[in-house]
Structure formats: C-alpha cells, structure tokens
C-alpha cells in the first residue's frame, strides 16, 4: 500500500493542535485539517483524532459537526485512525466525567476518575505505556522503558479492552493501572500526547504513520520501570530589556536588574539569552517541560503583537515537550479599547503552541472575591472559563508569596508554619503572604487561602514560587511546599531557590512535590538539566532518561 504523505487531522478547535502539526511536519507529513466530514473525510487513508479537555465537550463537538456516524463508518471501512488523549477516550462507551454522554462505543467500557485519596489528580507527567503479553515486542514503536507525557484526570480500564481482543499498553499511577494506549486492527489510540512526549512520542507517531504495527524490541528496550517520573522543569522569565529586545532574565528576589554603581541606581535588565534558543537547549538537555513567564505582563500591550506569541510559535516547532506560558492571562482591554476575555487571551496562546497557561495576579484577585462571596463561585473567573473550555490540566496558578514572621500563630488569622528558620527577631512562626504584579503589591491573603480557592475554581496545577528564595541558590522553601501539598489534591511544582542538583533531590525527598523547577542555575550554565536528572537517577529517583533524544 503506497502511503500518502498527507495526514488528515480532525480539528475540533480544542487545545494545542499546533504542536501536533509541528510534530507531523518534522516527520515529513503534510496535514489536511478536517473541521466537518465534508472537508475530505472520504479521501482520508490515515486519520488522527486529537481531543483535549472535557469528554462531554469533545463528544458534543463531534455531534454538532456531524462526525459521529461518518467516524464510525470510517473505522468500519478498515482505514487507519489514531486517537490522542480525549480522542482515545471518545472510542469508549462513556465517562464519569460527563454522565449521560455517549462515546463512540467502539470499546464497550467506561472511563472513571483516578482515585485522588493518596495522589495528585490530574495525572500530569511522564509515565509508562507497557504493552501487555507481547514479550520483546512493541505496538507502534512503544517501548517499556520509555516515558510518555500524560495529562488527564479520567482513565480507561485495562481489563475490559483486553477481554474484547484489544492490545493494551498499561500505565501505572501509584498502583492504579490504566490504559496508556489501545490497539486493535485499524484502530490505535494513546491516552498520552505523542506530540508532547519528546522523541519517544515522535517514534510512536512515525511508526503509526508508516504502518509499523509490531516492532521488535532489544532486550534493553524491553526493560523499564513503571510509574510516574519526577518532573524537572526549566523556567524562562522573559521581558524586554532597556534596548527593547526580548530577553531571558532572572530576578534576585524578583529584582531583575544588575546591581547598579550606587545602591539606588538600578543597573540594566539582566540579559541571560534568547528565549527560543534557551528553550531548545533545555529540551535537548532533557527538560520535561518548559515554562515562559512574561514578567512585565502587568503593562498592557496589544494581544495580537504580544511578543510571547512568536516565541511560542517558534519554540513549538522544535521543542516537543509541554510548554506553559504565564504573564498577563486575564481579562484585558487592548490599547484600541477592545475588550478581550482571559479565555480569548488563553485561546490565542493555545493556538500559538502553548499547552498550559499560568495565571498569577488575576488568581489572587479572584480568590479575594471568592472569599468575599463566602466561597461562592462566580463561574466567570479566568480559572473557571479556561478550565471549562480546555480542561483543568491547561490551567496553572503561579503563586508569588513572601514570608511574614510572627511570634505565635495567635498573632495572625493566616495559616502559619512552625519554621526551622527563625525570623530576624527570633520569630518561630511564619505565614506566606500572596502578592500580585510580580511581588510589587502584597495582599491580605495567604497561600493556603489562594490554592484552596483556585482548586475549587478548576485550576489543574500550582506553580509555587517563593520571593524570599527566588534567585538565591539556597534551595527550595520546603516548609512552604509541604504546607501547600497538604492543603490541596492538584499537583504542585516547587519553584525558587534551586542552585544545584542536590536541592532537587532534597525537595523530592523531603516533600511530596510532584515537580521541581529551576531557572537561574540553568541560565547561568552552572548546571545542565541533564546534570540534575543524572544526579536524581543515581540517587534512585525515577526520572525520564534523555536517551530518548534520538529518533
């Protein structure tokens, strides 16, 4: 069968399709987008069905565009189809995420939510997809030792598809087995995102597109430790410098200017390099995710020419791991006076290649208003509207707290920690005060109030910075991190203070954080991302190996 180099892709206008386009382009395929069946579904030899966000949303999008029957007919015709993420879930009968909504029913079984009593949900990060029962064989390039990027709260069962003759690649999330991929005849589908799973994911896409269903595995490749890895994230604070160039900078407790000749003569904005080049360097070093933060976002500028959009477009062409963009995600008024909702701002970033958006200041304001309404949701906050449209996993909350020392918990209404690092006057307790505008304004809200509120608003993850630790190379604030982890069920990214690989080991050993982020130590080339990952591997922690960089 001569394979056309054209891949047909269902475009339900949800989530980040640009990265899938970039992955297919890198593999030498051109893309034909299909928004309705009449866009050429009958001509398709190979069809990709990417789906992001809510099960019910994706199924209604299929229904509204008249895809349900044509898609079932396409599958019955024996032509090949690959579902991705909710595109795999849609093949099932239904999901507890959207009671009463019918899936395509190709696999008569139902999805359910992960058990979150002892682990974070959504399941975000790099996990296995180990094919059952096929010794030393992989389905479509899947390898037991490889890790793939998952981001979902609902999971497909393993037993039911196997009983119905499907080959299932199994993932293990803290002891809870789930279907990482399913395959039977002309149908293949992955819960993980192959376009965001580095070279391991590209290998799976390539094998499917080339029709290599069964792949022999070397003894080495047939090994592999199941389970979710510790995520290492590289973070780039971006702003224009005094010459107007967009540069990667780094704060020292959020002060990004070189120390000036005199105490108050602030020097130039630190220029640590170009955003796209540095992101690509970190990807090649094995970063599991890359985060861009536009740190002068509080200055309004026309969304259309937000320089961050071009950075995302360029970066997503060569960096095949999840990209998060933060800074300025809020309802805004363009300088020409037009109102743009936070959802529109986020959608623009998703269309430009972002997988997640990070909300800072706006989340603090929304939390204050949430408490002023005695814990009643408005349904209109950026968190609620973006997670409703794109799924909780697409919404990260960036927290910029400052330590406030008190002698006793009785001295404040806020949640305190008993600290091992006494205050300037010997205080033994501290609480963490929220700030907005990059630490320029403090608010009468503590970190636990903030993260509790935004979790209720549908946020999927917390990026937990710490102004006191930022840029100090003194290690993470372990007390802050564990106090937040104890308060919520969604994943937490520890941030601020990393100065060497041991700091990453300490935060994973002494707290239950799900991920850890570094910035300055990477930008100043004191360490590579791979130095951190190799160190953690030697210490016995499960990390994604960067040997996955060779297709």
Kindly state whether residue 317 participates in binding ligand 1PR, applying the rule CB under 6 A.
no
With CA atoms as reference, report the closest residue to 143 among 204, 210, 84: 204
Instruction: CB nearer to ligand 1PR: give 111 or 466.
Output: 466
What is the Cα–Cα distance from 373 to 464, expressed in whole angstroms?
Answer: 25
Other Cβ atoms within 10 Å of 410 Cβ, number: 9
Size of the site for ligand 1PR (CB under 6 A): 33
Instruction: CB nearer to ligand 1PR: give 15 or 520.
Output: 520
Other Cβ atoms within 10 Å of 472 Cβ, number: 15
Kindly state whether residue 107 participates in binding ligand 1PR, applying the rule CB under 6 A.
no
Give the footprint of ligand 1PR on residues 203-242 (CB under 6 A): 235, 237
Please say whether the beta carbons of 438 and 400 come within 8 A. yes
Please say whether the beta carbons of 41 and 68 come within 8 A. no
> Which residues are known to be catalytic?
85, 193, 195, 237, 400
Give the footprint of ligand 1PR on residues 405-464 (CB under 6 A): 438
HSE, side-chain direction, 13 A CA sphere, residue 408: 2
Instruction: CB nearer to ligand 1PR: give 212 or 255.
Output: 255
Kindly state whether residue 328 participates in binding ligand 1PR, applying the rule CB under 6 A.
yes
What is the Cα–Cα distance from 220 to 50, expressed in whole angstroms?
Answer: 31
| Interaction pattern, residues 171-210, with ligand 1PR; x per rule: CB under 6 A | ----------------------------------------
What does the DSSP assignment read for 32-52?
EEESSGGGTGGG-SEEEEEE-
Task: Give just the sign of the alpha carbon dihedral 29, 35, 38, 41.
Answer: positive
With CA atoms as reference, report the closest residue to 72 among 99, 47, 101, 98: 47
Kindly state whether residue 359 participates in binding ligand 1PR, applying the rule CB under 6 A.
yes
What is the Cα–Cα distance from 461 to 455, expressed in whole angstroms?
Answer: 8
Kindly state whether residue 358 participates in binding ligand 1PR, applying the rule CB under 6 A.
yes
What is the Cα–Cα distance from 262 to 18, expressed in whole angstroms?
Answer: 47
Instruction: CB nearer to ligand 1PR: give 79 or 274.
Output: 274
Please list, in sequence order, all residues whose beta carbon lies within 8 angstroms of the beta carbon of residue 427, skipping any fewer than 6 positions away.
405, 406, 407, 419
- Whole-number minimum distance, CB 354 to ligand 1PR, in Å? 14
Q: Hey, is 31 helix, strand or coil? A: strand
Kindly state whether residue 491 participates in binding ligand 1PR, applying the rule CB under 6 A.
no
Scanning 33-41, 117-125, 206-214, 491-499 for contacts with ligand 1PR by CB under 6 A, the matching segment is 491-499
- Whole-number minimum distance, CB 294 to ligand 1PR, in Å? 7
Kindly state whether residue 496 participates in binding ligand 1PR, applying the rule CB under 6 A.
yes
Kindly state whether residue 362 participates in binding ligand 1PR, applying the rule CB under 6 A.
yes
- Whole-number minimum distance, CB 441 to ligand 1PR, in Å? 10
What is the Cα–Cα distance from 484 to 438, expressed in whole angstroms?
Answer: 20
- Whole-number minimum distance, CB 326 to ligand 1PR, in Å? 4
Kindly state whether residue 360 participates in binding ligand 1PR, applying the rule CB under 6 A.
yes
Enumerate binding residues for ligand 1PR (CB under 6 A): 235, 237, 250-251, 254, 256, 293, 295, 297-298, 326-329, 358-362, 398, 400, 438, 465, 470-471, 495-498, 517-520
């Amino acid at each position: 069968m001569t394979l056309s180099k054209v891949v047909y892709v269902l475009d339900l206008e949800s989530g980040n399709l640009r990265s899938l386009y970039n992955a297919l382009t890198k593999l030498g395929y051109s893309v034909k987008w299909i928004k309705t069946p009449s866009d050429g579904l009958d001509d398709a030899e190979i069809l990709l069905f990417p789906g992001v966000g809510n099960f019910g949303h994706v199924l209604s999008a299929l229904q509204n565009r008249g895809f349900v029957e044509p898609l079932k007919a396409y599958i019955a015709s024996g032509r090949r189809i690959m579902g991705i993420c909710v595109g795999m879930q849609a093949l099932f009968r239904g999901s507890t995420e959207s009671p009463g909504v019918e899936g395509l029913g190709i696999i008569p079984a139902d999805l359910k939510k992960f058990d979150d009593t002892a682990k974070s949900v959504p399941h975000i990060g790099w996990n296995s997809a180990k094919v059952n029962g096929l010794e030393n064989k992989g389905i479509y390039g899947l390898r037991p030792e490889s890790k793939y990027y998952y981001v979902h709260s609902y999971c497909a069962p393993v037993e039911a598809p196997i009983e119905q003759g499907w080959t299932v690649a199994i993932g293990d999330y803290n002891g809870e087995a789930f279907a990482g991929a399913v395959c039977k005849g002309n149908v293949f589908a992955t819960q993980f995102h192959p376009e965001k799973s580095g070279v391991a994911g590209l290998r799976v896409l390539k094998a499917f597109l080339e029709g290599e269903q069964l792949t022999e595995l070397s003894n080495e490749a047939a090994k592999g430790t199941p389970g979710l890895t510790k995520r290492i994230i590289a973070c780039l604070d971006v702003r224009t410098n005094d010459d107007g160039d967009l540069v990667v900078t780094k704060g020292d407790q959020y002060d990004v200017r070189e120390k000036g000749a005199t105490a108050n003569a602030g020097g130039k904005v630190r220029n640590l390099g170009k955003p796209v080049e540095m992101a690509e360097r970190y990807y090649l070093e094995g970063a599991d995710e890359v985060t861009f933060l536009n740190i002068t976002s509080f200055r309004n500028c026309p969304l259309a020419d937000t320089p961050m959009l071009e950075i995302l477009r360029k970066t997503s062409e060569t960096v095949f791991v999840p990209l998060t963009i933060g800074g300025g995600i809020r309802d805004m008024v363009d300088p020409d006076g037009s109102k743009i909702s936070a959802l529109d701002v986020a959608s623009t970033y998703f269309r430009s290649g972002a997988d997640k958006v990070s909300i800072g200041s706006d989340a603090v304001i929304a939390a204050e208003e949430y408490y002023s309404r005695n814990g009643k949701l408005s349904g209109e906050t950026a968190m609620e509207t973006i997670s409703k449209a794109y799924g909780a996993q697409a919404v990260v909350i960036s927290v910029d707290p400052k330590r406030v020392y008190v002698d006793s918990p009785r001295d404040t209404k806020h949640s305190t920690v008993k600290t091992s690092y006494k205050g300037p006057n010997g205080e033994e307790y501290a609480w963490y005060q929220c700030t907005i505008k990059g630490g320029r304004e403090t608010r009468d809200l503590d970190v636990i109030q903030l993260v509790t509120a935004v979790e209720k608003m549908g946020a999927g993850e917390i990026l937990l910075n710490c102004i006191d630790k930022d840029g100090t190379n003194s290690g993470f604030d372990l007390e802050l991190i564990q106090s937040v982890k104890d308060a919520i069920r969604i994943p937490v990214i520890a941030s601020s203070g990393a100065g060497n690989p041991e700091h990453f080991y300490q935060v994973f050993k002494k707290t239950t954080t799900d991920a850890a982020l570094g910035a300055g130590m990477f930008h100043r080339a004191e360490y590579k991302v791979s130095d951190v990952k190799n160190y953690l591997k030697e210490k016995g922690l499960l990390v994604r190996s960067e040997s996955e960089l060779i297709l």
